[in-house]
Chain A
Amino acid sequence: MSHEPEVAAAVYLAGTLDVAGRERFEEHLLGCQECWGEVRTAHRGRALAESLREVAPQPLRERVRASVAAASRSDRRRRGRPLVAVAVATIVLAAVAGSILANRGDAGQPAVITAAVASYRTGDLDGSAASPERPQVRQAGDLVWRGARQGRLAGLPVVAHDYRDTAGRHLTLLHADRSFPEALGAFHPPGAAIWVAEVDGVAVLCADRPSPSLLVGRDRVEVLLAASQLGLH
């Protein structure tokens, strides 16, 4: 039988030998310097690795709860709103917005936000032309960067990066030279300098670092994940 100290020690330390095999190897260890060295060093390495175990900090537990709860609220709103109630709410809000807020678009949202959502839905961007700007990150999960355009959202100059996957899902990342206005009903995840909102059935996320950015996607989970993958914070 061949003598392979490394393999023998690895199998022994994995703890999967039966009692007889274990006893045989331990007996062998007493007389074999090579196998003993393998086991001793690896055993020490294991103890060192085990010493790195740590308990997750309590604020992280709260952060995970809050982000899952936020994603869940977003899902519920998307699936569960009765159409009549939505229509009534939209009409009321549009009337209020039209009469009171001259600089705001539908449902009291800042015009830039409304325009961003409309652009996401239709794919159109005012004064649109191809942009030479290239993103730092070309892939966010399954979504791959498809191109960039420059144009205006309610007068604000922006560069729009389009990300799509093979199933046709898409996400738009908008960059501007100044901060985007906060959407009505924006939610601020604890411990993060971003806001997330649901506008007209799509999710909008805003971050100021590394540069003023607005991410528009299908739902809150998608934009939160993409923001993290795109390095927005």
Chain B
Amino acid sequence: MATDDEFLQVTLPALDLVHNLARRFARSLADAEDLVQDTYLRAWQAWTAGNRPRRAEPWLATICLNLGRDRLRRASLRSEVAVEAVKEPAADVDVEAAAIGRVERAQVERALWALSEEQRIAITLMDIVGFTAAEVASITGSPRGTVLARVHRGRKALARLVAEEAMRREP
């Protein structure tokens, strides 16, 4: 019979991963923590039905991703205000002008939220959570080339958005 000890032993080491992913689907920490709990409860439900993943990390990431997307869809349905993806910033921004030391975490967070949902998810899975492009392709169900393009364009947009904001703040 399935025991929660065994389940937690396999899945709890991936808590940081799930937490970082959930943070990209919820604006508030409380909502992100609800999503983490839901991910673990859904995984537990599958575990008790006999599902034993080869690796816990991609399994939990897929569950969290599906629940998170579902939440975002519902949130956007409830809200009258459509979230519009930011267009690529002007290419002539000098990225190096925004030195890392001057960049605040909140600026990066805001810039990440300004990307399209697909770019944000791809960047989160590869750069924040640490999956390879092949793993991200399998988790998101997208071709590897599409993942690479999303990550690459997302990274460029992120760098430019942060640089633009840093320059706007220059005295």
Contacts and interface: CB of A to CB of B under 8 A. Distances in A.
Interface centre among B34, B70, B109 (most CB of A within 10 A): B34
Contacts of A221: 41-42, 44-45
Contacts, number: 149
Interface in B4-54: 4, 7-8, 12, 15-16, 18-20, 23, 33-34, 36-38, 40-42, 44-45, 48
A40 to B, nearest CB: 7
Interface residues of A, number: 48
Interface string B48-63: 1000000000000000
B152 A52 contact: no
Interface string B145-169: 0001101111111111010000000
A40 B40 CA distance: 38
A83 to B, nearest CB: 18
A46 B34 contact: no
Interface residues of B, number: 56
Interface centre among A60, A64, A71 (most CB of B within 10 A): A64
B108 A49 contact: yes
Nearest to A79: B1
A134 to B, nearest CB: 13
Contacts of B156: 38, 41-42, 45
A229 B75 CA distance: 11
A57 B103 CA distance: 24
A87 B118 CA distance: 54
Given A49-B108, A67-B37, A68-B4, A54 B23 contact: yes
A42 B159 contact: yes
Given A49-B158, A72-B4, A10 B149 contact: yes
Contacts of B153: 6
B102 interface: no
A65 B8 contact: yes
Contacts of B23: 52, 54
A49 B127 contact: yes
Contacts of B41: 67-68, 71, 221, 224-225
Given A52-B108, A139-B74, 16 more contacts: A38-B152, A44-B159, A45-B123, A48-B100, A48-B159, A51-B100, A51-B105, A53-B20, A71-B44, A72-B4, A79-B1, A221-B45, A222-B45, A225-B38, A225-B42, A229-B74
14 contacts: A38-B152, A45-B157, A49-B158, A51-B108, A52-B23, A55-B19, A61-B15, A64-B15, A64-B36, A65-B12, A68-B4, A71-B41, A71-B44, A225-B42
Interface of B: 1-4, 7-8, 12, 15-16, 18-20, 23, 33-34, 36-38, 40-42, 44-45, 48, 70-71, 74, 78, 95-96, 100, 103, 105, 108-109, 111-112, 123-124, 127-128, 132-133, 148-149, 151-160, 162
